[in-house]
Structure 1
Amino acid sequence: MQATVDGSRAPGVAPIHERDGDGALYDYRFRRLVARAAWDALPGDVRRRFSKRLSGQAVATYNGEIVWTRLSTAGWLLAQLCRLIGAPLPTNRSGPAPAAVAVSEDRPSGGQVWTRIYGRAHGNPQVIHSAKRFAGATGLEEHIGGGLGMALTVRAEADALIFTSDHYFWQCAGIRLRIPRWLAPGVALVTHQHLGHGRFAFDLKVTHPWLGELVSQHALFRDG
């Protein structure tokens, strides 16, 4: 049996959330995707960020800057094409620019909504929306718009939590199709690395098996 809607559980099954020693809600959904020993070895700041239970209208915010974004020619073309489904990839090659991230609970799916705001040297900032859902064969999916999404695996290594795309899919009206690897943009790799004192680095890479690295982005954030 699995955890119930209110967070209670059957014996031997980790709850979705419970209160810690300070009375705050502790979210187990990310922790359950990582081996216990590896999770416990992560820095406390990382564990706390991915254990916040954002109930009600609560929003977790992180402020920082995009240090650099690199796009190959194929990566730039892919990013422009993805504008049709909400521009989930950075669309500009850029240097330092302000950035902010907001995370809130997505009640209908039982997951989280992530909103990223990236400043630009010219024009309006780019706003990227995605929804993380704790579902599917890997236990975690990121839905990026237009019915497209990717299944993610999660692992902890030393001071970082690492998300890697397992496969991509399209779903609509109850139909779900797995996208063949030869049609997929490549492997997406996201790293959340602890830097100490409430700071962390965010790195995004998308690498195609034939075209090489398409997208590489490095950003620095701090707890809001």
Structure 2
Amino acid sequence: MRLTQLRRPRTEAPLPLAGDDVFDGRFRKLLGTHAWDMLPVAIRTRFSKRLRQGRSNAYQGVVTRMQMSGPGFCLAHAARLVGAPLPYDIRSVDQPAVVVVTEDVATNGQFWIRQYGRRGEFPQTVHSSKRFQGPTGLEEYIGFGIGMALNIEATPTALLFKSDHYFLQLFGMRMRLPGWLSPGALVIGHHELGNNRFTFTLSLRSRRFGELISQEAVFRDAKE
């Protein structure tokens, strides 16, 4: 476990806003021009918008697949103690799903809220904050001082977010968690389908137990 002193992240000056959104070059900068240009135009468009403060983009869809192994089931339900960051109910299949993205002006990041319907129950809500900082340039926080550093990759059809490491941030200190305390390798994909539609995929895999959780959902572009 590695302990480091946290420094207050530097934030960029706000972009001049005109209308509801402006060009956002943060994901392009992380990928590099060559990898960015590899992506489908629709994905580049979705990840190039910075919304005006107080506005959000909402994507509506449906969960099309959800699988959990026994260890994955235990992990997902244990994680409910820290805000339920992992999907935990296979009853969400064929149920409505909603993703809402809001600019986090205070940290120069984004708030992400994902809601998955559950047959006969209240929906599950997952909230996190993406921040453009840390050793990889991008981190995701779920609350309770827990977060993960992310690497992003581009393919001709998808933008992939891959966990680099997990960390705990408390009392101004940051502790990088060793591999044996990590839940596994997480890969989140944004796959272009065409016709204003895309697939969201989530895969959590453990070296010891194999694939723990796998989820897919199909969404439509937000209405302008």
Q: TM over 0.5, yes or no?
A: yes
Give the corresponding residue for 1:57: 54
Structure 1 residue runs without a partner (length 5+): 8-16
Distance 1:93 1:171 in 2: 31
Give the corresponding residue for 1:212: 210
Question: For each residue in 1:38-65, what CA deviation from the matched residue of structure 2 results, as whole angstroms up to 9, or x when unmatched?
Answer: 2112111100111111121110110000
TM-score w.r.t. length of structure 2: 0.90
Identical amino acids, percent of aligned pairs? 46
Q: For residue 18 of structure 1, report the CA deviation from its aligned partner.
A: 8.3
Structure 2 residue runs without a partner (length 5+): 1-9
Distance 1:18 1:31 in 2: 19
> Which amino acid is the alignment partner of residue 76 of structure 1?
F
Q: Runs of at least 4 residues of structure 1 off by over 6 A?
A: none
Distance 2:87 2:150 in 1: 19
Give the corresponding residue for 1:37: 34
Distance 1:28 1:173 in 2: 32
Question: For each residue in 1:58-116, what CA deviation from the matched residue of structure 2 results, as whole angstroms up to 9, or x when unmatched?
Answer: 10110000011111110110011111110000111232111000000112211000001
Distance 2:162 2:128 in 1: 16
Give the corresponding residue for 1:104: 102
> Retained in 2: the 8 A contact 1:170–1:179?
yes
> Which amino acid is the alignment partner of residue 63 of structure 2?
I
Q: For residue 173 of structure 1, report the CA deviation from its aligned partner.
A: 2.0
Which structure 2 residues correspond to residues 144-163 of structure 1 after superposition, within 5 A? 144-163=142-161
Give the corresponding residue for 1:85: 82
Give the corresponding residue for 2:118: 120
Question: For each residue in 1:20-47, what CA deviation from the matched residue of structure 2 results, as whole angstroms up to 9, or x when unmatched?
Answer: xx99510011111112112112111100
> Retained in 1: the 8 A contact 2:65–2:215?
yes
> Retained in 1: the 8 A contact 2:59–2:220?
yes
> Retained in 1: the 8 A contact 2:17–2:52?
no
Q: For residue 6 of structure 1, report the CA deviation from its aligned partner.
A: 3.3
> Retained in 2: the 8 A contact 1:18–1:27?
no
The secondary structure found in structure 1 opposite 2:74 is helix
The secondary structure found in structure 2 opposite 1:109 is coil
Give the corresponding residue for 2:68: 71
Give the corresponding residue for 1:179: 177
- Count of aligned pairs between the two proteins: 212
Which structure is higher in RCO with an 8 Å CA cutoff and minimum separation 6? 2
What is the root-mean-square deviation in Å for CA atoms of aligned residues?
Answer: 1.8
Question: For each residue in 1:114-158, what CA deviation from the matched residue of structure 2 results, as whole angstroms up to 9, or x when unmatched?
Answer: 001100112100011000000100000000121101000001011
Distance 1:18 1:58 in 2: 12
> Retained in 1: the 8 A contact 2:21–2:52?
no
The secondary structure found in structure 2 opposite 1:67 is strand
Give the corresponding residue for 2:7: none
The secondary structure found in structure 1 opposite 2:137 is coil
Distance 2:217 2:97 in 1: 8
> Retained in 2: the 8 A contact 1:159–1:193?
yes
> Which amino acid is the alignment partner of residue 116 of structure 1?
R
Quick one: which of 27, 47, 51 aligns to 2:24? 27
The secondary structure found in structure 1 opposite 2:72 is helix
> Which amino acid is the alignment partner of residue 32 of structure 2?
A
> Which amino acid is the alignment partner of residue 214 of structure 2?
S
Distance 1:75 1:125 in 2: 20
Give the corresponding residue for 1:12: none
